[in-house]
Structure 1
Amino acid sequence: MAMRGEFSSRIGFILAAAGSAVGLGNIWGFPTQVATNGGAAFVLVYLLLAFVLSYPVLMAELIIGRATRSNMIDALGSISNGSAIGRATGAWGFVTVSMILAFYAIVGGWMLAYLADGAVSLVGADAASQWLVSFSTPRNIIFCAIFMVLTSLIVLGGVKAGIEKWSVRLMPTLVIIILLLIGYVSMQPGAAEGWSAYLVPDFSRVFEAELLISAMGQAFFSMSLGVGTMLVYGSYVSKQENLPRIGASVALVDIGVAIIAGMLIIPAMYVALYNGVEIFNADGVLIDGDKLIFTVLPALFGSIGTMGIVVSMAFFALMGIASVTSSISMLEVPVSYLVESKGMQRKKAVWLMTAIIFAASCIIMLNFDQLFGMVVKLTTEWSQPLLGLVLCIFAGWVWRRDAILAELKQGDEAAEHSLFWKIWPWYVRFVCPVIIAVMFVRSVI
């Protein structure tokens, strides 16, 4: 069996795990959800749910990962005494995360294409610029391939020399770019209105079912739960670390980045409105998702002149970094299985999985209208919450409680007297599965 990697420092793990959690969902999903769901009221509900729902599931993944020191398939097999159901659940996570990466790489490629567009616009290459920003299959395939290669090159380095080394560089860069852009956007006319849309709470909406479900979904998906990324990262954490504390740090960094992303995106949308760009759709709701990123914001950058090109490049560099820090954790899930269970060399495992996932991306790109939305829905709205539910059942009902406590005690002698141990075991057993099941049924109906 190949020697397993380990994170060399606590900050390395926190930045890598937060990088996995901080993805496009935080930067393009969260801000518009806030603005359309009662401003700061949504932020409060999201904060609450992130700790009430996401943190316990995150902890289940981290504890299972570190205790078993293995990939998702072997880990769930081992805590369920080698049962076929445990291994099958792990395999289901393996397939889900690979499919998420297949569509994620397409979107990551778009970010790189728009970043390249900034560079060619600076030298006035209009034809190239036009090609980079128009939606075409050749452009999509080329940039998706570039994105997958970038991801693979980082994962090739393993835990310490690849994932940790790059997370420690990319995450601070991401935060610095967001803060610089917030400073720039806030000085533009129209920004003040955006700040008030984002920060002024409309408490009358706190108990709306729609708002609660949106906040719950956002909290769950923004921490990249259910698909084994946190389980695999947890398996690389040193036994000396206090897991509940380190998990709380990851959750806080993830939430923090989502909140500062909102401080950038919402004021930017209102600056765009001031400059004559349409930011509301026909129903009077703020435009979100890909339209926001590829229509509203580029129109805003275009209205600022030459400075707009620089701002645009900074913004798409930020989106590219957010995509890569998430994609490396997704690729690590199947790679860790091939290396540990199948005895494959890391290099071979990385390129094999890259080729398979890229092939899946190509199938989606060639049948974009039929497949893209469907794959996103099946993986993030159906498969991910159900995997989260099953993980809670494994941690709460299948795995022996004394084994969990023994694992926690490795990093904290007094673990059984901690507040975490008084609440988490019954919480992950009874409360989390019910909340996730209710949310799932609501979102499907």
Structure 2
Amino acid sequence: MSAPRGQFSSNFGFLMAAAGSAVGLGNIWGFPTNVASNGGAAFVVVYLLLAFMLAYPVLMAELTIGRHARRNMVQALRGISTGPVSRATGTVAGLAGIAVASMILSFYAIVAGWMVAHLADPFAELVGASEAAQWLTGDSASRNFTFTAIFSGLTMLIIASGVEKGIERWSTLLMPALIILLLLLIAYVLTQPGAMSGLEAYLIPDFSKLSPLLLLSAMGQAFFSLSLGVGTMLIYGSYLSKQESLPRLGALVTLIDVGIAFTAGLLILPAMYVAQEAGTQIFAESGELIGGPGLILQVLPALFDTMGTSGLFVAIAFFALMVIASLTSSISMLEVPVAFSIESLGLKRKPATLLMGAIIFGISSLIIFNFETLFGLVVSISTEYGQPLLGVVLCIFAGWILRRDQLLKELKEGHEDIEQTLFWKVWPWYVRIFCPVLILLTFVQSIPVLWAFVKSIL
């Protein structure tokens, strides 16, 4: 017998949990990094369009299937299947979703471990432990292994506590703290010299930068930041009360995610130009703004160093923000394989959490000790290719496999007049045809990019 399923106790609890899943390093770090690497505001415009044209419809597909089936991704897709072919496809897609979620969490925990280490660094500086501080900000395998283990342990502790007492309780505590910290840091940075130049780079688009690679990056960012394609939102939907309106909740989650991603850009890009004003190099030799790990782990710490003692407290606030954002997303990713272990393998929640957490930490360790070869490859395969392709499968299941009367019945739960809304007139055919075609067209354009990347590391 599997353990009884949990359920979110309130609309607010679900919103905070779903928004917490969506709002993570993909927003606070990944989005501004992609903006910096892909032509500034041109990327912002493309991202905003794709978030509502593609990410929101796929989010609705996940939430609808999840609440209808009330099972993990494998059982949910098998449950709505109508024949042997769709059942086999659902099984493969469900297992692939669990695998991709685990891959994402395996590299995500490493990056989150960097954030925890950099959060500890100002405290080491304050007590004069300079050697410890150097180790905390260095790039050693021992540092990465230690803090990945710490972050993975925190994630496992929350998931082991269950849906209401773990995921919901911690999300409702952490998300408001994240928003307050973000706004306070923006208010501080925008008063510094150079901040206005950063705002211009962020808000004035250069559409000459548009390219297939930019479209791919924007789509990958939208899917990654909303945790789509891997079953996290499907699982959260399965824990949702039948009294809630799915279209409204889905729209709110998308708006919160996009809003915080955009707001994070108001912090990161101006902070880069403030750092330049203080003497830090923010442009690479190619002339592009520095992106990737260098943005968060080199440019901004250099800025904090110029602030003297007050910089230590700003650094604490900033990296606390990063750790909170990491944790709210990691718990949703770990819940995907844990829910499968509970419902399909018959494990209780705590052993399931320990087993799945240990397996994913093992993958993280493999990446840490083969970082140059594996890290970029795992990131690219899971976020830019795995998530969108699984998103196509979920669109097909929601649009073609789940019967229209079942779909309407599920959406009517919590939204009785759904048939009279624009959503019902547009979304069913939109998710059937437009979303899969657009995702696949973008994917086909990106295949040469993937092949070139794979060849470069072989």
TM-score, normalising length: structure 2? 0.94
Q: Amino acid of the residue matched to residue 6 of structure 1? A: Q
| Equivalent residues of 1:190, 1:267 under 8 A apart | yes
Which residue of 2 is the match for residue 433 of structure 1?
436
Q: Amino acid of the residue matched to residue 16 of structure 1? A: A
Which residue of 1 is the match for residue 105 of structure 2?
101
Greater alpha carbon shift after TM alignment, 31-40 vs 77-86: 31-40
Name the SS for the 2:6 alignment partner: coil
Q: Amino acid of the residue matched to residue 194 of structure 2? A: G
Shift of 1:211: 4.0
Q: What is the Cα-based RMSD across aligned positions, in Å?
A: 1.5
Name the SS for the 2:302 alignment partner: helix
Is 1:26–2:27 an aligned residue pair?
yes
Q: 1:85 aligns with which of 77, 84, 89?
A: 89
The structure 1 segments of at least 4 consecutive aligned residues displaced by more than 6 Å after TM superposition are: none
Q: Equivalents in 1 of 2:401, 2:266: separation in Å?
A: 42
Shift of 1:34: 3.0
| Equivalent residues of 1:39, 1:200 under 8 A apart | yes
Which residue of 2 is the match for residue 376 of structure 1?
379
Q: Amino acid of the residue matched to residue 61 of structure 2? A: A
Shift of 1:36: 5.0
Which residue of 2 is the match for residue 114 of structure 1?
118
Which residue of 2 is the match for residue 187 of structure 1?
191
Name the SS for the 2:307 alignment partner: coil
Q: Equivalents in 2 of 1:29, 1:413: separation in Å?
A: 38
Which residue of 2 is the match for residue 278 of structure 1?
281
Correspondence list, 1:225-244, <5 A: 225-244=228-247
Q: 1:126 aligns with which of 110, 117, 130?
A: 130
Change (3 A) 1:343 1:36: closer
| Equivalent residues of 2:17, 2:167 under 8 A apart | yes
Which residue of 1 is the match for residue 370 of structure 2?
367
Q: Amino acid of the residue matched to residue 118 of structure 1? A: P
Q: Amino acid of the residue matched to residue 4 of structure 1? A: R
Aligned length: 444
Shift of 1:261: 0.3
Q: Equivalents in 2 of 1:277, 1:417: separation in Å?
A: 56
Q: Amino acid of the residue matched to residue 184 of structure 2? A: L
Q: Equivalents in 2 of 1:291, 1:36: separation in Å?
A: 12
Shift of 1:138: 1.2
| Equivalent residues of 1:205, 1:211 under 8 A apart | no
Correspondence list, 1:408-423, <5 A: 408-423=411-426
Q: Amino acid of the residue matched to residue 22 of structure 1? A: V
Is 1:349–2:352 an aligned residue pair?
yes
Change (3 A) 1:41 1:376: closer
Q: Equivalents in 1 of 2:316, 2:396: separation in Å?
A: 45
Name the SS for the 1:201 alignment partner: coil
Is 1:265–2:268 an aligned residue pair?
yes
Q: Deviations over 1:49-100 (max 9, x none)?
A: 2111100000000000000001001001101147122112101111111111
Q: Amino acid of the residue matched to residue 311 of structure 2? A: G
Name the SS for the 2:145 alignment partner: helix
TM-score, normalising length: structure 1? 0.97
Change (3 A) 1:358 1:209: closer
Name the SS for the 2:183 alignment partner: helix
Q: 2:158 aligns with which of 154, 158, 176?
A: 154
Shift of 1:205: 4.0
Shift of 1:234: 0.5
Which residue of 1 is the match for residue 55 of structure 2?
54
Greater alpha carbon shift after TM alignment, 133-142 vs 144-153: 133-142
Q: Equivalents in 1 of 2:209, 2:15: separation in Å?
A: 31
| Equivalent residues of 1:182, 1:263 under 8 A apart | yes
Q: Equivalents in 1 of 2:205, 2:445: separation in Å?
A: 25
Change (3 A) 1:88 1:9: same
Alignment gaps of 5+ in structure 1 = none
Shift of 1:15: 1.1
Q: Equivalents in 1 of 2:401, 2:69: separation in Å?
A: 14
Which residue of 1 is the match for residue 455 of structure 2?
none
Q: Deviations over 1:276-316 (max 9, x none)?
A: 10101111101112111111111111111111111111111
Change (3 A) 1:214 1:366: closer
Greater alpha carbon shift after TM alignment, 22-31 vs 204-213: 204-213
Shift of 1:35: 4.5
Is 1:328–2:331 an aligned residue pair?
yes
Correspondence list, 1:28-43, <5 A: 28-35=29-36, 37-43=38-44
Q: 2:202 aligns with which of 182, 194, 198?
A: 198
Which residue of 1 is the match for residue 340 of structure 2?
337
| Equivalent residues of 1:13, 1:164 under 8 A apart | yes
| Equivalent residues of 2:112, 2:326 under 8 A apart | yes
Q: Deviations over 1:352-388 (max 9, x none)?
A: 1111111111111111111111111221122111111
Is 1:70–2:71 an aligned residue pair?
yes
Name the SS for the 1:103 alignment partner: helix
Shift of 1:210: 4.5
Which residue of 2 is the match for residue 394 of structure 1?
397
| Equivalent residues of 1:37, 1:205 under 8 A apart | no
Alignment gaps of 5+ in structure 2 = 449-458
Is 1:170–2:174 an aligned residue pair?
yes
Greater alpha carbon shift after TM alignment, 388-397 vs 229-238: 388-397
Which residue of 1 is the match for residue 452 of structure 2?
none
Greater alpha carbon shift after TM alignment, 155-164 vs 210-219: 210-219
Which residue of 2 is the match for residue 140 of structure 1?
144
Shift of 1:215: 2.6
Identity %: 62
Q: Equivalents in 2 of 1:443, 1:360: separation in Å?
A: 26
Change (3 A) 1:85 1:365: same
| Equivalent residues of 1:206, 1:212 under 8 A apart | no
Q: Deviations over 1:256-282 (max 9, x none)?
A: 110110000011000000011010111
Q: Amino acid of the residue matched to residue 110 of structure 2? A: I
Q: Amino acid of the residue matched to residue 246 of structure 2? A: L
Q: Equivalents in 1 of 2:324, 2:98: separation in Å?
A: 24
Shift of 1:207: 5.9
Which residue of 2 is the match for residue 253 of structure 1?
256
Q: Amino acid of the residue matched to residue 44 of structure 1? A: V
Name the SS for the 2:243 alignment partner: coil
Q: Equivalents in 2 of 1:104, 1:209: separation in Å?
A: 26
